[in-house]
Amino acid sequence: QMAEDLPQIVVPKTYSEYTSRKVLTTSWLEGEKLSQSTADDVGDLVNIGVICYLKQLLDTGFFHADPHPGNLIRTPDGRLAILDFGLMTQVSNDIKYGMIEAISHLIHRDYEAIVQDFVTLEFIPEGVDLSPILPVLAKVFDQALEGGGAKNINFQELAADLAQITFDY
Greater confidence, 2 or 44?
A: 44
pLDDT over 80 at 133, yes or no: yes
pLDDT given for residue 75 in this prediction: 97
The whole-angstrom separation of Cα 58 and Cα 61 is 6
Q: Inform me whether the pLDDT recorded for 152 exceeds 60.
A: no
| pLDDT category of residue 72 using cuts at 50, 70 and 90 | very high
Residue bearing the bigger pLDDT, 63 or 112: 112
pLDDT (average), residues 11-26:
92
How confident is the model over 13-38, as a mean pLDDT? 93
Q: Which among 44, 66, 84, 161 is annotated as catalytic?
A: 66
Edge-to-edge strand list for the sheet holding 80-82: 9-10, 80-82, 72-74, 32-33
77 is catalytic: no
pLDDT at 138 over 60: yes
